[in-house]
Amino acid sequence: MGNAAGTTGSAILTKRESGLTRINNRSDVIVMPAVKKKYQTTNTDLNLMYVTRKLYLLCLFLMCAGAALAQEYTLLLKGGHVVDPKNNIDGVMDVAIKDDKIALVAKNIDPKKATLVVDAKGLYVTPGLIDIHSHNFFGTQPDHYLSDGFEALPPDGFTFRVGVTTVVDAGGAGWKTFSTFKRQTIEHSKTRVLSFLNIVGEGMRGGPYEQNLADMDSRMTAMVVRQNSEIVGIKVAHFSGTEWDPVDRAVEAGKIANVPVMIDFGGHVPPLPLRDLLLTHLRPGDIFTHAYARLTGRGPVMDDQGNPFPYVQEAIKRGIVFDVGHGGGSFMFSQAIPAIRQGFYPTTISTDIHTASMNAGMKDQLNVMSKFVNLGMPLQAVFKASTWSPASVIHRDDLGHLTAGAVADVAVFSMLTGKYGFIDSKGYKFEGTKKLECELTLRAGEVVYDLNGISKPSWTTDPNSAAFANKK
């Protein structure tokens, strides 16, 4: 119906804007005064024209109504290589969308049934990516770090352009500040913004705030988690004491609210034993972020010979989630390369994006995913670690897949080949030959990013270009 309305409007626009007259066999021809004399009409002619015009409009209406009924889908992604790990799909398929939902994933869906058809041949089509370690509680409070401060980032500028449709802010807000985060970021973002609530009531304000055991309240934290569906877990970060209280209180809150905890561990010299954290304090399903970090104050996962510590292998078997959380200082090739060579893949791939990582080695979700592709992790596993696995980890089974009826968060990628360099958090480079690039992102069925206009009509179909579009 949109096209027909546009065509009718085009004649009017042609008249108004260019002063040109279009004479054709249609009945809604607009005749300019200057040429009226030449094509002077009689009353009978005018009556005939009036009736013809009415009939034309009626036909147009019926055609539009018919077309609308025939079009089952609002958007069809045609011929892309679909990777949907939850549904074990890995091959050329079409993805049909109706409004904000996935309608059908199948081979050879009739393009006539869709209002908009996007040619995805040669491209990968996946569920919208989920970044479970992000920092989006941005604000203008001085000295507030990642909690209503300058170091956090508004999500929409960093998500859709790399295929991310959901982020989980990792501990920016605590139970005292979540309502500000919700008003300020969650309600004003097109990206779906979720939260790991900090065990610290004040959230991730940095410095002494994050060391204050008196502000780590399991019950208040659990209560606010249960009151807000956007909160999917609890975060511990940056604590540098010898006490286990922050971890244990977060796990306690996690038990009450039935959500996982994410631990950014360490800070004490000598480090607290990683073994105790992974095998004693955390529960299966809890998340160990910054998996491939090698930092003072925290033990690494790989030993100096490039083998995972036995307790790390045990933790994997126990169901501890190993999350990348690349960030500005937490991803070293010296840890990741031997891990990937031995098949120790991250459960979830995430950015830990903030102002100190966005322009460093991390850059964005796709750059981090491309690193793992070049290190030898299979592409399907890389997509799984960025879609279905993070959705499962945060108990959001409604996300991260393309099942009919699911929300139509979809990403379309090209795989570039060439010579690329990737940088780790210590500043070391790894050279690779592949790089993912985002072509198109849909959020709830709406095109929110389109790098090369694959979802857009040619400029020659713009009514304002009609007069000269086909001239050379």
Q: Which stretch binds Zn ion (CB under 5 A): 121-129, 168-176, 362-370, 407-415?
A: 168-176
Q: How far is the CB of 152 from Zn ion (least distance, A)?
A: 10
**Interface with Zn ion includes 210 (CB under 5 A)?**
no
Kindly state the tokens that stand for 199.
């065990």
Considering the complex, what minimum distance in angstroms separates the CB of residue 153 from Zn ion?
12
Task: Using the minimum distance from each CB to Zn ion, give the nearer residue, 134 or 455.
Answer: 134
Closest to Zn ion by CB, 265 or 311: 265
Minimum separation from the CB atom of position 418 to Zn ion (A): 31
Task: Give the total of residues touching Zn ion (CB under 5 A).
Answer: 2
What minimum distance in Å lies between the beta carbon of 9 and Zn ion? 50
**Computed from CA positions of residues 329, 332, 335, 341, in that sequence, does the dihedral angle turn out positive or negative?**
positive
* Residues whose CB is less than 8 angstroms from the CB of residue 17 and which lie 6 or more positions away in sequence, other chains included: 464
Integer Cα distance of 115 and 73 in angstroms: 6
Return all residues near 111 (Cβ < 8 A) that are at least 6 apart: 76, 78, 117
Of residues 170 and 301, the one with the C-beta less far from Zn ion: 170
Q: State the chain's maximal CA–CA distance in angstroms.
A: 100
What is the nearest approach in angstroms of Zn ion to the Cβ of residue 426? 18
Residues 214-243 that bind Zn ion (CB under 5 A): none
To Zn ion, the closest distance from the beta carbon of 325 in angstroms equals 6
Written as six digits, the tokens of 73 are 């889908």
Q: Partners of 302 in the beta sheet?
A: 308
Give the number of other Cβ atoms within 10 Å of residue 417's Cβ. Answer: 10
Stretch that binds Zn ion, among 136-144, 165-173, 371-379, 422-430 (CB under 5 A): 165-173
Binding flags for Zn ion, 169-208, as an x/- string (CB under 5 A): -x--------------------------------------
What's the min distance (Å) between Cβ of 261 and Zn ion?
14
Tell me, rounded to whole angstroms, the distance of Cα 223 from its chain centroid: 28
Q: Is residue 301 a contact partner of residue 266, using CB atoms and an 8 Å limit?
A: no
Nearer to Zn ion, 237 or 377 (CB): 237
Q: Are 314 and 331 in contact (CB under 8 A)?
A: no
The secondary element (H helix, E strand) that includes residue 46 is: helix 43-70
Whichever of 170 and 440 has its CB closer to Zn ion, that residue is 170
Alpha helices, DSSP H only, in 284-387?
A: 310-318, 333-341, 365-374, 379-384
In the bound state with Zn ion, the residue whose beta carbon lies nearer, of 118 and 368, is: 368
> In terms of CB distance, is 331 or 413 closer to Zn ion?
331
Q: Binding segment for Zn ion among 164-172, 176-184, 422-430, 446-454 (CB under 5 A)?
A: 164-172
Task: Compute the half-sphere exposure of residue 441: CA atoms within 13 Å on the CB side of its CA.
Answer: 23
Q: Does 352 bind Zn ion (CB under 5 A)?
A: yes
Least distance in angstroms from the C-beta of 220 to Zn ion: 22
Comparison of 79 and 206: residue with beta carbon closer to Zn ion: 206
| C-alpha span between 336 and 293 (Å, rounded) | 9
The 10 Å CB-count burial string (b at 16+, else e) for 251-275 is: bbbbebbebbbbbbbbbeeebbebe
Positions in 359-398 near Zn ion (CB under 5 A): none
Q: Which is nearer to Zn ion, 111 or 328 (CB)?
A: 328
By beta-carbon distance, which residue lies closest to Zn ion? 352
Block residue for tokens 């091959």: 91
CB of 312 to Zn ion, least distance (A): 21
The contact set with Zn ion (CB under 5 A) reads 170, 352
